[in-house]
């Protein structure tokens, strides 16, 4: 019987953050490399654009407001496209038409983590990112979110009903605010065993080493 204490990893990220998209894939690769180590993933909310209207905004308007011009954004986005593709991730910024407020996406990830059939938060995080970065899906559209829930095995009717309410909106917003209060001002940020943090889309081999080292420390026999 494996008596190794699971390593808790808290991942602070936003579903519309391209570096978080890359970082999630690198974490997947790291976990595959240390498959003998039990881990518990906890996806923590972070709002990359906390002042974005709840209804979101036109993508081009957003780009011009944030980057100054579409031309200034294109050079940066092409670099990120190449980095994502090197990780085997499709990234199609040309398909994105809306910049969404991500409160409902984070609510959905939270609900996926407490689904009666089991924790579905990691598949949900992955699916929402695929929708936004690879398919140009509008994560502010209820139909898109409901379909994402169905894709991850959740009850679509229940999710639609919950999205129509403010259920957990305050809790998710408070959690995102708490991350900033803890000094987390960039994402992705990986926190291991509530003790050690790595910020940025770190390479998979570095994440794997961190997982192995912190797990070994966590499970070190007590002296005496």
Let me know: does 11 contact 189? Beta carbons within 8 Å: yes
pTM: 0.95
Q: What is the pLDDT of residues 54-98, one digit of tens each?
A: 999 999 999 999 999 989 899 889 999 999 999 999 999 999 999
- Its domain, for residue 184, covers 7-218
Residue 19 belongs to domain with CATH number: 3.40.30.10
The sign one gets for the Cα dihedral 125, 127, 133, 137 is negative
In a domain, 100, yes or no: yes
In a domain, 223, yes or no: no
Q: What is the pLDDT of residues 142-152, one digit of tens each?
A: 999 999 999 99
In a domain, 62, yes or no: yes
Helix, strand, coil shares of the chain, percent, nearest 5, are 50, 10, 35
Torsional class of 63: left (φ above 0), alpha (ψ -120 to 50), beta (otherwise): alpha
Which H/E stretch holds residue 154? Answer: none
Q: What is the pLDDT of residues 157-175, one digit of tens each?
A: 999 999 999 999 999 999 9
Confidence of residue 1 (pLDDT cuts 50, 70, 90): very low
In a domain, 224, yes or no: no
Burial class (CB in 10 A: 0-12, 13-18, 19+), 149: buried
Residue 200's nearest CA partner among 210, 187, 212 is 187
In a domain, 2, yes or no: no
In a domain, 193, yes or no: yes
In a domain, 180, yes or no: yes
In a domain, 1, yes or no: no
Contacts of 206 (CB under 8 A, 6+ apart): 198
Structure tokens at 33: 């490399």
pLDDT, mean of residues 107-134: 97
From residue 155, alpha-carbon distances to 23, 122, 146, 147, 221 in Å are 28, 17, 9, 10, 44
Domain count, the chain: 1
Question: In this structure, what DSSP letter does residue 222 have?
Answer: P
């Amino acid at each position: 019987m494996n008596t190794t204490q699971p390593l808790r990893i808290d991942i602070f990220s936003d579903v519309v953050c391209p570096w978080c998209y890359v970082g999630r894939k690198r974490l997947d690769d790291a976990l595959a490399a240390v498959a003998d180590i039990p881990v518990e993933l906890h996806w923590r909310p972070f709002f990359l654009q906390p002042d974005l209207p709840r209804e979101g905004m036109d993508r081009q308007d957003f780009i011009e407001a944030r980057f100054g011009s579409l031309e200034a954004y294109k050079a940066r986005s092409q670099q990120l496209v190449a980095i994502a593709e090197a990780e085997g991730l499709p990234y199609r910024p040309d398909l994105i038409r809306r910049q969404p407020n991500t409160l409902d996406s984070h609510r959905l990830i939270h609900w996926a983590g407490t689904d009666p059939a089991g924790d579905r938060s990691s598949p949900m995080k992955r699916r929402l990112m695929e929708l936004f970065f690879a398919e140009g899906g509008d994560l502010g559209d209820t139909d898109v979110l409901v379909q994402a829930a169905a894709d991850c095995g959740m009850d679509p009717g229940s999710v639609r009903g919950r999205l129509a309410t403010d259920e957990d909106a305050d809790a998710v917003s408070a959690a995102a605010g708490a991350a900033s209060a803890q000094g987390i001002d960039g994402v992705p940020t990986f926190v291991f065993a509530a003790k050690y943090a790595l910020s940025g889309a770190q390479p998979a081999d570095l994440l794997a080493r961190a997982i192995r080292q912190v797990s070994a420390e966590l499970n070190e026999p007590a002296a005496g």
